[in-house]
Chains A and B, each alone.
Chain A
Amino acid sequence: MSAVAGMGRAEAERAGARNVRRRRWRVVLRHAALLAWVAVIMFPIYWMIATSFKEKHEWVAWPPHWLPHDPTIKNYSQIFVFDVQRSGVAREATEQPFNVWGPLADSLLICTLSALVALLLGTFLAYSISRFNVGGRHFRHAILMIRMVPPIVIAIPLLMYYAIMIPLATEAVLGTRILLFDTRVGVSAIYIATTLPFVIWMMLTFIEEVPYTLEHAARMMGAGRMYTLRRVVLPLVASGMVVTFLFVFILNWAEFLLALTLTHPDVVTLPVLLNKFQSASEGRLFGPQAAIGTLITIPVVILGVLIQKHLIKGFSFGTIRK
């Protein structure tokens, strides 16, 4: 600014025009770079959706078809078969019907159940950490450690625990073998344990925004602890709980390693189902696979877009100023 004031007027105008031009170029370049990355992001997703509408001779055609030449919903009708037995054996392996309803129900049930339980426990604990400093100063970091342990390290102990220890122990104590391996309860239990750290961290940021004086006032007026929690604190963090629930739901929905290792063959979640196609011996079924991929992706992307504003806050880990 001071430099401009020192110059002659004409000179300053020329410099100003140059600056404007330079700034405009910078804006154009910035948008070009961002749009290039947008293209990189969108292309694989586009390719999957396009493949899900392609006939089987188009899946791996050379040169590849950038648009389906004759769009079809065959791939979708092939995976949404209700009764695989009754629809008979297909003449060709690529027309084999698949029942996606079972895995869809398993995924929905496991993800909803475990996210709800984790949300309730985690919110309660986050409240306790925030208000009473339970577990000491570094407890919240200790919790984060659990999240950082690689799932494969947890999967091997859990396999042995679910498949050996619990059946043997329950047989000795209760007289019947209870098996947690390949059950929805078994998968849900480990999902609850692995997502609790996230719930606690996200709920902490929401609960710490609720002023303590409000609760204090309620308690002074004679409200009980649970009443205060239910009527004063929970309504204020309700939107935060919805966001946390959706986030944890998305995490569970995407989980693959633990579902793959702790189930077989009864319980099948959607990622495990998609992986089964990948190793299918009867030729690769790219079309139905793309249809399942689209089916898994669309709902979570919509949910994710809905909560993204809150995710920015949740992932700032205290670096963002309010």
Chain B
Amino acid sequence: MSEAQVSQAPRTAPGARSGSFGRGLGAWLAQERVFRLIPFVAVEVIFVLVIIIPFLLTIYISFLKWRANRPFEQAYLSGFGNYQAVLTDPGFWSALGRTFYFAGAAVTLELALGFVLAMLVARTVRGKAAYITILLVPMMIVPVVVGYNFTMLYIDSGPINQLLAPFTQAMGLDPRIRWLSDPVAAQWAVILADVWQWTSLTFLIFLSGFSALPRQLVNAARVMGASAWQIFWRVELPLLRPAIVIAVVIRAMEALKIFDPVVLLTAGGPGTSSQSIAFYLWEQVWVFNKFSFGAAASIILLVIFAVLIFFGIWLLVRSSAAVGRERAA
């Protein structure tokens, strides 16, 4: 109410005195109902120009029959042909399945490691700040550089093979193992690079969760004679649930995008055994120039991800609402 009264004053006063167009425009913009929408409209215009229109164009192209060897003007409508081609392509489905496998394995490891590390750091007194600084470093490193670093570790004359040499030689094997030439090892190379980098993010989320734990509650439980085990399972873990939900949602959505380490470490190989869905689509469009196929695949993928994103956001909203209720109580 009072806000509305305040906004009256600058609107009428200068406008009445001068009546010039510039002042009038300024006064019009200063009204709350206009002013509040300026940034909103500006950002929406950017989103429409950079994201919405390209998607509408892509929907149109996904119904065309068009390849790079022919100019765009000669493309013709082909109905659902591209969608059928994508949905019946075994490469698409196996890349999609593999992406879920990568994300599942990586996120599970990251959650477990990040949780344990955050718990250890939260209970440390000496050197706590130094540990936090160092444990957050991987997050800052460019993923492409992480991919490069891990190729250096995995190559046949790399340090990992040297560390394993006593064991491999005892078994009578050549210690210079080509890890990235083996399908399973290549997949785990990608997963481990992701774990190395993003455990720092789950650690960060859990650390802020641990530092937000109400001390009085934990102390009260201890005074009442609860064991450390009971305090952890019955007091701390339930209080950390919002942090866990946030870590799972954010990391899972990010891990499903996995692309950089695949390109840098394995280039999808050997064969197609470590292709993620992002890599698969990139190869279809940028290497094989199957544009309309890529457009259809991109729309299908958007639909699949929209479902996942809605579910993830729903989980986030629900957990943040729970935090709000707790705070109010």
**Which A residues form the contact surface with B (CB < 8 A)?**
1-3, 30-31, 33-34, 37-38, 40-45, 47-48, 51, 60-64, 66, 121-122, 124-125, 127-128, 131-132, 134-135, 138, 141, 144-146, 148-161, 164-165, 168, 189-190, 192-193, 196, 216, 219-220, 222, 224-226, 250, 253-254, 256-257, 260-261, 270-271, 274-275, 278-279, 286, 289-290, 293, 296-297, 300-301, 303-305, 308, 311-313, 315-321
Contact = CB atoms under 8 A, between A and B. Distances in A.
Given A156-B58, A193-B50, A60 B157 contact: yes
Given A128-B40, A152-B298, A318-B320, A256 B144 contact: yes
Nearest to B252: A148
Nearest to A117: B46
Helix, strand, loop or mixed for chain A's interface? helix
Contact of A132 (B32, B155, B156): B32
B148 A278 contact: yes
A303 B140 CA distance: 9
Nearest to B296: A156
B135 to A, nearest CB: 7
Contacts of B253: 148
Nearest to A154: B51
Contacts of A315: 201, 204-205, 208
Interface of B: 2-3, 6-7, 9-10, 30, 32, 35-40, 42-43, 46-47, 49-51, 53-55, 57-58, 61, 72, 113, 116-117, 120-121, 123-124, 127, 131-153, 155-159, 162, 165, 176, 196, 200-201, 204-205, 207-209, 211-212, 214, 223, 225, 242-243, 246, 253, 256-257, 259-260, 263-264, 267, 277-278, 281-282, 285-286, 291, 294-295, 297-298, 301-302, 305, 309-310, 312-313, 316-317, 320, 323-324, 327
Given A161-B53, A296-B142, 16 more contacts: A1-B223, A30-B124, A47-B149, A121-B43, A125-B40, A146-B47, A156-B297, A157-B51, A224-B10, A278-B147, A278-B264, A305-B137, A313-B208, A315-B201, A319-B209, A319-B246
B231 to A, nearest CB: 15
A100 B198 CA distance: 28
Contacts of B9: 222
Contact of A134 (B40, B159, B256): B40
Helix, strand, loop or mixed for chain B's interface? helix
Question: B141, B204, B297: which has the most chain A beta carbons within 10 Å?
Answer: B141
Given A150-B305, A153-B298, A274 B144 contact: yes
A145 B212 CA distance: 26
B242 A135 contact: no
B246 A44 contact: no
B203 to A, nearest CB: 9
Contact of B43 (A1, A196, A224, A278): A196
A304 B136 contact: yes
Contact of A150 (B72, B201, B257): B257
A44 B150 contact: yes
A81 B277 CA distance: 38
A121 B140 contact: no
A190 B151 contact: no
Given A47-B149, A63-B162, A135-B40, A160 B204 contact: no
Contacts of A161: 53-54, 57
Nearest to A191: B50
A145 B281 CA distance: 21
24 contacts: A38-B134, A38-B135, A44-B146, A48-B149, A62-B156, A64-B158, A121-B43, A124-B42, A128-B36, A128-B39, A134-B39, A149-B302, A152-B282, A153-B301, A165-B53, A193-B50, A225-B10, A256-B142, A256-B260, A257-B282, A260-B263, A297-B141, A300-B141, A319-B246
B39 A51 contact: no
B301 A150 contact: yes
Contacts of A159: 285
B148 A45 contact: no
B278 A293 contact: no
A148 B305 contact: yes
Contacts of A2: 225
A313 B204 CA distance: 10
A191 to B, nearest CB: 10
Contacts of A44: 146, 149-150, 152-153, 196
Contacts of B301: 150, 152-153
A62 B201 CA distance: 35
A44 to B, nearest CB: 4
Contact of A45 (B131, B141, B201, B281): B141
Question: B7, B50, B124, B136: which has the most chain A beta carbons within 10 Å?
Answer: B50
A285 B110 CA distance: 32
Contact of B204 (A31, A122, A312): A312
B282 A317 contact: no
Contacts of A127: 39
B44 to A, nearest CB: 9
Contacts of B257: 150-152
Given A148-B253, A253-B142, A318-B320, A38 B36 contact: no
